[in-house]
Structure 1
Amino acid sequence: MPRRLSALFAALLAALLLCASTAQAAPTVVLQAGLGDGQSAWRPVLPALQQHGPVFAYDRPGYGSAASVEGARDPCTIARELHALLQEQHIAPPYLLVGHSIGGLYQYVYARLYPQEVAGMVLLDPTHPEHWASMQQQVPALAAVVRSMNAISLNGATRREFRDQAVCLDQLDQRQPLGMPVRLLVSGISETGATPAFRTMLDQLRKDWLRLSGAPQLQVVAESGHYLQKDAPEVVVQAVKALRATLQP
C-alpha cells in the first residue's frame, strides 16, 4: 500500500476508534448535595463512583469555596447555574444525575428543564416539591420549629435556598413522569423528632415521587438515616453503578 494511502487509512482507523470509544463512554455522574452541604458530603462514595467513570461534584454558591451570589436561590435558578457550569467545564451530556435531599429536588428540576441532556437519575431521600407546603399544613408545630432553626442558621445560602425552595415549581409541567430511568432510594430510619404525623406525611410524599419521577419502585434502605451516602455508601454506589451500566450501549 502506498505510504500516503497507508497514512490516510491509519488516520481513518484512529478516528473510528475514537468515535466508538466516545459512543460507549459512561455518562458523567453529576452529584448535587442537600441543604447546607457542599461537595464534601459525597466523600464516602466518591472514590468508588470514580472507579466506574467520570464524576462531577461541586459547591453551590455560598458553600465551601464557592462565593455567594445575589438574587433568587430557587430550584430553577440552581438547575440553570449547574447547566451553565457543566458547559463552562466542557463536561458534555449525557448526565446521570444524583441528588440528595433538596439536591434531589434540584436534579429533578434539571431533568425537567433539560430532559435531552439527562440519561438517568438516582434520588436519595429527595425533597418533594410539596414538602414545605405539606409540612405547614399537616404538621404546623414542627414546621414552626424548622422555620425558627433556619432563621438563625449561620449560612446565608442555606437560609435563602430554604426560603426559595418552591418558588419556581409551578412553572414546570409535572403532569407526566420523567421519560428516563430513575432509581429512588429512601431512608428506613426516622430522623430524631419525627412525629407520627410527619412520618405519615413523608410516606405520602415518597409514594408520590413514584408518579413524578416514573421510578419503578421505592427502595427503602432499612439501615440508613437521611444521609444514605454516609450510612449506606455501598448501597448508593451499587444503585448508581447498576443504572449507569444500563445506560451504556
Structure 2
Amino acid sequence: MSAPLSTLLGALLSGSLSGLLSGCASLPPTRSVEVNGQRTAFVQAGGSPPVAVFQAGLGDGKAVWAGVIEQVTPGLAVFAHDRPGYGDSSAEPAGPRDPCTLARELHATLQAAGVKPPFLLVGHSIGGLYQLAFAHLYPQEVAGLLLVDPTHPDHWARMQREAPAAARLATGLRATVFSRTMRAEFDAQAQPACIAELQALPPLAVPARLLVRSDFSLAERGDFEALVRQLELAWAAWVPGISRRQVAGAGHYIQKDQPGVVAEELQALARAARKAEATPR
C-alpha cells in the first residue's frame, strides 16, 4: 500500500493526497484510450527502447513520476498512466482490482496505445506488486524490473500480525480517507487466487533492482520498520537475483525524494537490456 503511515496521515491533515504529489517537473501531454469500457489517461514520450512503463502506488497517478521521467527522456522511451479511478482516467473502475487484473489492464492499455515491448517495468508501493504480476503474466515482453519501495505480497497479512498498531492506523485511514477505488485496491492487494496464479508460474528470469527507503518517520518506527526491513529481504524469493539498494535521504516516495537515483537505476537497467538484445544467441 502506498505511504501506509505518516505520509497518508499527512494527507489526512492536509485534506488531499494529490497535494503530496505536486511538483515542479512537468509531464508530456496527456492522451487517452478506452479499455474494457474505461477511459485510461496516459503520457508517452519517445526515445530508445526498451520502454519504461511506470505504475504508481495507492491513490497516485502518473504525476508522481514526473521528476524521474524528466531525467530519463528523451534518451529512453517512457509510458505512464492513471489507473481508472485516478487522475484524468474514468472516475470509477469496473470489476476486480487485484494485482493480476490490474496487470492485465495495463497490458491491454499498452496494446491499445500502440506501445510495443520490450518493457522495463517500474512500480512504486502497491504499483510494485502490480508490476510483479505483469512480469509473471507476460515474461516474454519484460526486459527488466525496477521496484521502488514496493508492497510485498505478504505485506498486509504480516502487518496485521507483527505490527498491529500500524495495521489499526491503516484500517482507520481506509475507513476515513481512502476513495472507493483506493479501498478496492487495498482490499484486493493479496487476493488469494491471484497470488496462487503467480506462484504457479515459472520464476522470473529478468534483471531486477529493488530500491528501498532509508528514512522512517517517528510514527513508522518500531514494529512497522522492522517488518518493512524483513520484507525487503523476502523479495529474493519472488524475484531471484534481485539487487537491493537503500537510498539515502529518501522516505517511502523515493521517486520524489531522490528522482535522480531512480533515473540512474532505470538507465542502468536499460543499458543492460540493450546489451542483452545485441548479444548473439
Q: Given the two structures, how large is their TM-score scaled by the length of structure 2?
A: 0.77
Matched with 2:52 is 29
Check the 8 A contact 1:105/1:127 in 2, yes or no: yes
1:149 aligned residue (173, 187, 205) = 173
Q: Say whether 1:209 aligns with 2:235.
A: yes
Q: Which amino acid aligns with 2:117?
A: P
Shift of 1:53: 1.8
Check the 8 A contact 2:145/2:207 in 1, yes or no: yes
Q: Separation in 2 of the partners of 1:142 and 1:33?
A: 22
Which has the greater radius of gyration? Answer: 1
Check the 8 A contact 1:153/1:159 in 2, yes or no: no
Shift of 1:214: 2.1
Matched with 2:66 is 43
Shift of 1:139: 1.4
Shift of 1:178: 1.5
1:229 aligned residue (230, 255, 260) = 255
Structure 2 unaligned regions, length at least 5: 1-47
SS of aligned partner of 2:256: helix
Shift of 1:210: 2.1
Q: Kindly report which structure 2 residues correspond to 1:106-125, keeping only aligned pairs within 5 A, or say none.
A: 106-125=130-149
**Which range moves more in the overlay, 151-160 or 182-191?**
151-160
2:270 aligned residue (234, 239, 244) = 244
CA RMSD of aligned residues (A): 1.6
Q: Which amino acid aligns with 2:197?
A: Q
SS of aligned partner of 1:79: helix
Q: Which amino acid aligns with 2:70?
A: P
Structure 1 unaligned regions, length at least 5: 1-24
Shift of 1:176: 6.0
Shift of 1:154: 4.7
Q: Say whether 1:128 aligns with 2:152.
A: yes
Shift of 1:64: 0.3
Check the 8 A contact 2:123/2:148 in 1, yes or no: yes
Instruction: Give the structure with the higher percent strand.
Output: 2
Q: Separation in 1 of the partners of 2:120 and 2:62?
A: 16
Q: Separation in 2 of the partners of 1:214 and 1:39?
A: 28
Matched with 1:56 is 79
Q: Given the two structures, how large is their TM-score scaled by the length of structure 1?
A: 0.86
SS of aligned partner of 1:141: helix
What are the Cα deviations for residues 114-149 of structure 1, in whole angstroms up to 9, with x where unaligned?
Answer: 111101011100100000000011112221110111
Matched with 1:186 is 212
Quick one: percent identity of the two aligned structures? Answer: 46
Q: Separation in 1 of the partners of 2:240 and 2:128?
A: 14
